[in-house]
Amino acid sequence: MTVARSLNRAARTKATGAWAPRRAVLAVAVVLAALAIPAAAQADQMTVFSCHDPAGNALGDHGWTQEHNGGTFLFLVDNCGANGQGGLVGELSGRGGGYANNEAVNWTFSAPSWATIAKYTISVPSSYAYPSSGAGDGQTFVDASDENDPIYDYRNLGGSRGATTIERSPPDEVRSVTVDASCDGELGACPGAVFISRIEVSQATFLLDDSSVPAVKNVAGSLLAGGTVAGPAEVTFQASDSGPGIYSAHFIVDGVAQPAVVLDNNNGLCQNLGQTSNGTRSFESPEPCAKNAEGAMTLETADWPDGAHHVQLVVEDASGNQVSAYNGTTVFHNAAQSSVGAPNGPGAGASSSGAPSPGAANGTAASESATLHLGVGPTISRSYKRRAFTLRGRLLTKQGQPIEGAALDILQQTLGSDQTQLIAHATTGAGGSFAVTVPGGPSRTVEVAYRAFANDATYAAEAQVSESVSAGIRLHVGPRSTSPTGTIVLSGQVLGPIPKGGVLAELLVHYRGRWEPFRTPRTNSKGRFRVVYQFQGAVGRFPFKAEVPDGQAGFAFSSGYSAHVSVATN
């Protein structure tokens, strides 16, 4: 991550004792996809979860910048990749020459330019600061941009401290929060060859205020054409937002809000994580959604009685701020669509009476109001080796009667793609049950779909499950034994379809009780990488592993790890 802020939080001027911080904002670029969600209950605010969400699921470090002010043995490490474990770490390890005053490392969360931080909660599992011995000592602290020495949310000036949760609603405008590990050396340098300071953040929650309002333009479509409409009526538009980005759109018909549709999930970032009690949406990035989005919303007018209806189309940004894209009265008229003598639809035959023929019934008790029930939850996680799985379920009428002997389509939409593929078929058996082997693939949405009659142009029932597949990666290290200053070669391959420009693979070594990243090579188009590494005098046995970080453009897999490979130095 790029260093974008001065670390000098610990630098007091001798004349005034004042802090001299500089602040910066980290912007995160975004990409798009779609799914259905409810509208936000709380406008003007959104929640950001960092490192882990409250349930312990691993997230990234979006919104954080890191600062390094000093020489060697100062570490900033993102260990948030494991569910429920690890965190954002700042550390000053033992160094032979000790540390001068103000040598430090920082993690800083900065609100975007359009936002301020209304509230924050930070979980610190532990911290350590070397006790004073008449000269310099270690220190760790947490504070916000409205606080100055000696006001801190948290400070450790000596010894070990256990788990602490910091919760604060600032009285004034706050734009950043800083987590610091440093040498407080006003009385002299911090000593050499001892551990000076370390602090870790395992979970952070930020409530952001957002005063921006989205805008829409170029609104068009059959719903706006005037007169009478029948069947599906469309509204197209372009939306923009200077704040957290365009999130969703939904119709309101006769005062009743319809299910909202996320216009783009931005490669998973523009996805509500839930787990809030204040009505806000939650995300893992402070800028989760696209600033600009093109929408195409369809209203099935046949779902309402014929006649005049008041219709609104509302567009929302991620924090729930709304703008109306359309507000008017439209006449729905669909009765003629099913009358005798009406034109045949695409692919439909005609009966001897001239009415459209639905074709053969698909299964016993075939029904246009059928329901599909899957034997799994809405999301599943699979390893690369076990990405193929058996999907089971039942097909029933609205009244709960089984539909037997029905043909089902199995489709998939790969994460980040807008294309749907037919990948398998299934047939219901006794009790309307079915089981189908879904072939291995990347992270995707798998859908089971049912047509009630052979000539139906659309599905009568659909059910989905989102499968997250961890990346496959192999690591080879040689030689497995070398001198304390010896050289080893780490090579490997990331599996699965690889983008033309390759993907990033992070290499880690287990050192001082935790995994430390040390190289991030990019693979070639076949997923292969090779790195040469030289030890710097370390003696012992050192396990290595490789990780494929998730969220990489064109690579539809979640993060995955290789097996451990150990090297001995002696």
Same domain, 506 and 450: no
Residues 272 and 123 in one domain: no
Do 75 and 203 belong together in one domain? yes
How many domains, in total, are found in the chain? 4
* Cis, peptide link before residue 402, omega less than 30° from 0: no
Evaluate if residue 42 carries a pLDDT over 60.
no
* Domain boundary residue, one of 158, 177, 210: 210
d(CA 60, CA 291): 21
Alpha-carbon span 200 to 179, nearest angstrom: 8
CA angle 218, 252, 303 (to 5 degrees): 105
β-pair type (379-382, 461-469)? parallel
Check: CB of residue 389 under 8 Å from CB of residue 478.
no
Whether residue 244 sits in one domain with residue 173 = no
In a domain, 311, yes or no: yes
For 150, 192, 415, 479, 505, the CA distances from 473, given in Å and listed in that order, are: 48, 40, 19, 20, 9
In this prediction, residue 7 has a pLDDT band, given cuts at 50, 70 and 90, of very low
Q: Which two tokens stand for residue 302?
A: 């046949």
Residue 395, pLDDT above cutoff 70: yes
> Is there a domain that residue 343 lies in?
no
pLDDT of residue 358: 59
What are 84-125's pLDDT values in tens digits?
Answer: 789 999 999 999 989 999 899 999 999 999 999 999 999 999
What does the pLDDT look like over 500-522, one tens digit per residue? 889 999 999 988 788 888 899 99
Whether residues 459 and 496 fall in one domain: no
E strand map for 241-364:
246-253, 256-257, 260-262, 282-283, 292-300, 307-317, 322-332, 349-350, 356-357
pLDDT of residue 247: 95
**40 pLDDT more than 50:** no
CB burial readout 195-220, b (16+ within 10 A) else e: bbbbbbbbbbbbbbbbebebebeebe
**Is the preceding omega at residue 479 within 30 degrees of 0, hence cis?**
yes
Q: Tokens 């991550």 correspond to what residue?
A: 1
> String of b and e for 162-191 (b: at least 16 CB within 10 Å)?
eeeebebebeeebbbbbbbbbbbbeeeebb
Note whether 438 and 408 are same-domain residues.
Answer: yes
Q: Does 30 score more than 80 pLDDT?
A: no
Structure tokens at 267: 């490669």
The answer on 303 and 290 residing in a single domain is yes
The verdict on residue 452 lying in a domain is: yes
Query: Per-residue pLDDT for 37 more than 50?
Result: no
Digit-coded pLDDT (tens) for 143-187: 999 997 788 999 998 899 999 999 999 988 899 999 999 999 888
3-class DSSP state of 44:
coil
CATH at 137: 2.60.120
Q: Is residue 246 part of a domain?
A: yes
Tens-digit pLDDT profile for residues 189-234: 999 889 999 999 999 999 999 988 999 999 999 998 777 888 899 9
Say which amino acid occupies 283: F
Could you tell me if 515 and 458 lie in one domain?
no
Q: How confident is the model at residue 270 (pLDDT cuts 50, 70, 90)?
A: very high
Contact (Cβ atoms closer than 8 angstroms) between residue 86 and residue 80: yes
pTM assigned to the model: 0.56
Nearest CA to 324 among 215, 222, 223, 211?
215
State the Cα–Cα distance between residues 300 and 463, nearest whole angstrom: 20
Same domain, 75 and 180: yes
Query: Does residue 172 form part of some domain?
Result: yes
Specify whether the CB–CB gap between 440 and 556 falls below 8 A: no
Query: Residues near 163 by Cβ (< 8 Å), separated by ≥ 6?
Result: 123, 124, 125, 126
- Domain of residue 190: give its range: 45-210
Quickly state the pLDDT bin for 10 (edges 50, 70, 90): very low
Let me know whether 485 and 454 are in one domain: no
193 with 318, same domain: the answer is no
Q: pLDDT band for position 335 (50/70/90)?
A: low
Mean pLDDT of the region 402-421 = 90
Do residues 373 and 393 lie in contact, with contact meaning Cβ atoms separated by under 8 Å? yes
Residue 18: burial class (beta carbons within 10 Å; 0-12, 13-18, 19+): exposed
77/170 same-domain check: yes
In a domain, 394, yes or no: yes
Residues whose CB falls within 8 Å of the CB of residue 233, separated by 6 or more in sequence, listed in order: 221, 222, 223, 298, 299, 301, 330
Q: End of a domain among 210, 237, 253?
A: 210
Domain termination residue (choose one: 338, 371, 394): 338
Q: How far apart are CA 255 and CA 234, in angstroms?
A: 19
Percent of the chain's residues with pLDDT above 90: 61
pLDDT classification of 535: cutoffs 50, 70, 90: confident
Q: Give 162-186 as a DSSP string.
A: --EEEEE--SS---EEEEEEEEE-T
Asked whether residue 557 is assigned to any structural domain, the reply reads yes
CB 408 within 8 A of CB 448: yes
CATH of the domain at 552: 2.60.40.10
Mean pLDDT of the region 120-140: 91
28 found inside a domain: no
